[in-house]
Amino acid sequence: MSDKNNYDNIDELLSSILNDSRSAQAESESMQQATVPEDVKTASAEASKTSVISTAIRLDDEIDESEVSGQTNVFNFGTFQTQSGHTVEASDGEPDSFASESVPEEQATHNKKKKKRRKKNYTAYGGIVLATLVLCTSTLISLFIIVVIRDVLGIEDNDNEFTIYIEEGSSTWDIAGQLYDEGIIQYKEVFVAFARIMGADGNMYPGDLDVAYNMSYSDIINDLMEARESKETVTITFIEGISLYEAAQLLENNSVCDADEFIYTFNSTTFGYDYEQYVSSESLKLYKYEGFLFPDTYEFYVGDTAYNVAKKIRERTNEILTSDVIARAEEIGMSLEDVVILASIVQKEAGNTEDMPAVASVFINRLNNPEQYPRLQTDATTAYIDNIITQVMTVSSQSICDAYDTYTCLGLPVGAICNPGADAINAVLYADETDYYYFCTDPETGVAYFASTYDEHIANCELLGIM
């Protein structure tokens, strides 16, 4: 048989096989349509639009029955069908990678439900956060209202009374500011609003006003609306170097307040000033705040409270012992209290203001050279023991005396021996740079003679006739 006849026979064979397979497919589809319900047909039609196959069968491949089971187009590379009967286009080259199957409608609906549920969860979280914020805000507002009400009603443990002076022509805002500065009220705007509600705006009298930290706003306003007689005052000057005991006696002698009550209040009360945190509570001290009564001229009310007097003096001290003074003390390697203690010695030892920086340098040089000069050896501390400590103590204490005696204790005494003025404080903060370790003072002129060695010091003393 010729090659042409062989090719013709093969073509006939192929056509026959192809026709038979198409007939079998047609019969199979008609049987399925006859038995499958209408809704299933619709779902199948939709699925057929999206189902794809990833490989095509070539002529020269070894055919696996399991792989081609149900495939009706075996040799036609133009189109072929999957097992579910879906028709797909195929190229006559290498098999292409088809797109992944589309998500069925039921699965898409399920995914939408999941997304909706997630949105609902986020909404719930947002609601919880919002509710928490509202609750916290409400709590803070409630606490603020409580604090304001406590201040308005004067609910305060501190019942200390004192007197302030309301100047002529002060407006309601001025008065509120003065009360705020004194720590009597905390909310100026609220006070002004109360004054307007009570009809006191523009109807408050100047003059002396007795106040206390636990007074209510309404009580203060009522007192301000009454005409008040001016209290009797007295002017007292505390000189530089005065002791706390001497100052208390001066207050009592001028009918300001009781001396013992003043000493107790002055040493046991804190007023919230920054310098107070640098004052130690050493048990061997005679008075805790000796050295912190700034010498100046004050005007006090006759018959005033010890609290009011102590507050006025300590407030003036706060104007001297500023943050700059505290910072300078740290720069020279001293605490604020050490500066005050040394200044109290300089105040007593120096014969005049001009010699104070040099006198301060003598003591600072000794403090910086403790091995050679462990003790300051100043007569001013001995005088404090004899004139103050032994006079005020009902029971003598050698420990306290020794803690102040610079011929016994090492370095500075435990506390100040007087209340120094601004010149003595600045002399310590900005002492002269010298090599002096000794000095003596002319009792007639007050001029100081300084020496670097002990022999020089003896010579100076002999010169002045004080040996």
User: Are 112 and 104 in contact, with CB atoms under 8 Å apart?
Assistant: no
Closest CA to 416 of 360, 465, 344: 344
User: Are 87 and 22 in contact, with CB atoms under 8 Å apart?
Assistant: no
Closest CA to 192 of 150, 152, 144, 147: 152
The strand pairing partners of 164, in sequence order, are: 209
Residue 4 confidence (pLDDT) above 80? no
Do the strands 448-451 and 438-441 form a parallel or antiparallel pair, or are they unpaired?
A: antiparallel
CA distances from 235 to 96, 238, 367 (A): 110, 10, 40
What type of residue sits at position 129?
V
Reduced to 3 states, what is the DSSP secondary structure of residue 297? Answer: strand
Segment 167-190 shows an average pLDDT of 91
Segment 180-207 shows an average pLDDT of 90
71-130 confidence digits (pLDDT tens)? 444 444 444 444 444 444 444 444 444 444 444 555 555 555 555 555 555 577 777 877
Distance of CA 19 to the CA centre of its chain: 93
User: Are 320 and 425 in contact, with CB atoms under 8 Å apart?
Assistant: yes
User: Are 327 and 413 in contact, with CB atoms under 8 Å apart?
Assistant: no
336-387 confidence digits (pLDDT tens)? 999 999 999 999 999 999 999 999 999 999 999 999 999 999 999 999 999 9
Residue 18 confidence (pLDDT) above 80? no
Report the predicted TM-score, pTM, of the whole model to 2 decimal places.
0.66
CA distances from 152 to 9, 355, 465 (A): 117, 54, 70
Predicted local distance difference test score (pLDDT) of residue 202: 87
Computed over every residue of the chain, the mean pLDDT equals 80
Segment 17-33 shows an average pLDDT of 50
402-450 confidence digits (pLDDT tens)? 999 999 999 999 999 999 999 999 999 999 999 999 999 998 888 999 9
**What number of CA atoms fall less than 13 Å from residue 311's CA on the CB side?**
16
Residue 212 confidence (pLDDT) above 70? yes
What is d(CA 264, CA 252) in angstroms, rounded to the nearest whole number? 14
Predicted local distance difference test score (pLDDT) of residue 75: 41
Name the residue with higher pLDDT: 441 or 63: 441
Closest CA to 347 of 358, 334, 337, 356: 356
Predicted local distance difference test score (pLDDT) of residue 444: 87
Residue 331 confidence (pLDDT) above 90? yes
Predicted local distance difference test score (pLDDT) of residue 58: 43
Residue 457 confidence (pLDDT) above 80? yes
Contact partners, residue 382, CB within 8 Å, separation at least 6: 405, 406, 407
